[in-house]
């Protein structure tokens, strides 16, 4: 067993930064002390920051590898490997891979069933030791769909499902309350014309009316059966949040308005926002600015969403905005770990897992130097 020692480092522990030394191995963090170590084998970090490994609760990055273009389907195993190594290179040491269940009819080729097969690839490679970081599943349950009940039945408690999110992309509400935003999205991503969009909308309305309530209840029961965190998606109104509270939701993904975020705070539901929104300063779909929520103390957790490298960058950005780097880093480490029920990581403390990152700063931009997962260097 090899003990690694970092010294002459700025160690971000809980709510403070310690100038000192940290020791760890594959069993976990063994010691944190202020001051420099005299051990000859100690690694001089030259004043770099040491922080917990990042915890990612919601990422579309795997789907980007699985389907790099609307009509292109990449081999699952190769996609999983590329995704895993990309996340490791950005400082993410724990990920909840987002897999959508709830497909449309065959003509809607962008939403074909894939989750069970892909979950098998992830779990098999995890068991074989082929993955650099720790993977769990985040099942995104689309209630406005054809096949949800059949797909739910394909999963069990053996599948490392940590999060189940309730999604409803029926036009005219939540993320797409402004239908013109949904039209722009479909035209830009899938090249739909007016006639195709109208037919698509009619199909979604029919599915919602026929199956929406049944699928919503099935998703809630599925999350409970898996002992998973139940998340809402794109809450927009106070009524949406009250519905979430009734359903025992314990994580709000990407509320779209200040109203919804404030209601989540009132009902003690942690709010997660997207890193690209934070980095850009605004939402790409016209929703609330994540930085506005930070300034109002209405944001708890950051997700990289669709840009893995944005997670560390945005956590540092939040820390600088608040003049509190530990608080910013906690939005991508401790807070998401606790929201997902993981108490063995997300913080630098003796006895916890040795998931760590080392980075320096160039102005406000973090330069990642190394990444360690469970005591082993992975990037």
3-class DSSP assignment, residue 185? helix
Across the range 173-201, mean pLDDT stands at 64
**Over the chain, what is the mean pLDDT?**
91
pLDDT at 268 over 60: yes
- Residues 362, 84: Cα–Cα separation, whole Å: 26
Radius of gyration, CA atoms only, the chain: 21
Q: What percent of the chain has pLDDT over 70?
A: 90
pLDDT at 187 over 50: yes
Tell how strand 16-25 and strand 4-13 pair up.
antiparallel
Q: Which residue, 134, 126, 38, is CA-closest to 92?
A: 134
Q: Which tens digit of pLDDT belongs to each residue from 23-46? A: 999 999 999 999 999 899 999 999
- What pLDDT does residue 109 have? 46
pLDDT at 177 over 80: no
Across the range 142-148, mean pLDDT stands at 86
pLDDT at 178 over 70: no
Tell how strand 54-59 and strand 365-373 pair up.
unpaired
Domain ranges of the chain: 56-343
**Lowest-pLDDT range of 144-153, 255-264, 350-359, 360-369:** 144-153
Q: Find out whether 279 and 298 touch, Cβ atoms under 8 Å.
A: no
pLDDT at 146 over 90: no
> Burial of 223 by CB count in 10 Å (0-12 exposed, 13-18 middle, 19+ buried)?
buried
- What pLDDT does residue 175 have? 59
| Domain spanning 56-343: CATH 3.20.20.140 | yes
Q: Which tens digit of pLDDT belongs to each residue from 330-377? A: 999 999 999 999 999 999 999 999 999 999 999 889 999 999 999 999
pLDDT at 108 over 50: no
């Amino acid at each position: 067993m090899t003990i690694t020692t970092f010294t002459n480092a700025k160690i971000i522990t809980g709510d403070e930064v310690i100038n000192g030394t940290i020791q760890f191995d594959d069993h976990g963090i063994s010691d944190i002390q202020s001051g420099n170590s005299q051990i000859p084998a100690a690694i001089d970090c030259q004043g770099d920051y040491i922080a917990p490994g990042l915890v990612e609760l919601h990422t579309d990055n795997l789907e980007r590898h699985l389907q790099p273009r609307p009509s292109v389907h990449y081999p699952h195993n190769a996609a999983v490997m590329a995704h895993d190594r990309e996340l490791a290179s950005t400082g993410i040491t724990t990920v909840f891979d987002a897999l959508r269940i709830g497909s449309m009819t065959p003509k809607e080729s962008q939403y074909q069933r894939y989750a069970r097969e892909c979950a098998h690839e992830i779990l098999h490679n995890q068991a074989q030791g082929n993955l650099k970081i720790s993977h769990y599943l985040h099942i995104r349950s689309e209630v406005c769909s054809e096949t949800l009940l059949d797909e739910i039945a394909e999963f069990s408690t053996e599948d490392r499902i940590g999060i189940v999110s309730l999604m409803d992309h029926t036009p005219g509400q939540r993320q797409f309350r402004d239908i013109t935003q949904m039209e722009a999205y479909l035209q830009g991503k899938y090249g739909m014309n007016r006639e195709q969009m109208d037919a698509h909308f009619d199909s979604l309305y029919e599915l919602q009316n026929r199956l929406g309530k049944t699928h919503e209840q099935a998703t809630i029961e599925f999350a409970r059966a898996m002992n998973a965190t139940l998340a809402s998606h794109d809450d927009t109104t106070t009524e949406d949040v009250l519905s979430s509270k009734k359903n025992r939701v314990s994580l709000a993904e990407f509320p779209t308005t200040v109203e919804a975020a404030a209601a989540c705070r009132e009902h003690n539901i942690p709010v997660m926002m997207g890193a690209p929104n934070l980095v850009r300063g605004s939402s790409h779909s016209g929703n609330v600015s994540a930085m506005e929520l930070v300034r109002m103390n209405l944001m708890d957790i950051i997700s990289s969403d669709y840009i893995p490298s944005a997670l560390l960058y945005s956590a540092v950005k939040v820390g600088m905005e608040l003049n509190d780097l530990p608080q910013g880093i906690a939005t991508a480490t401790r807070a998401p770990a606790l929201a997902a029920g993981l108490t063995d990581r997300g913080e630098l403390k003796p006895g916890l897992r040795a998931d760590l990152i080392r980075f320096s700063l160039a102005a406000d931009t973090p330069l990642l130097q190394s990444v360690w997962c469970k005591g082993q260097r992975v990037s």
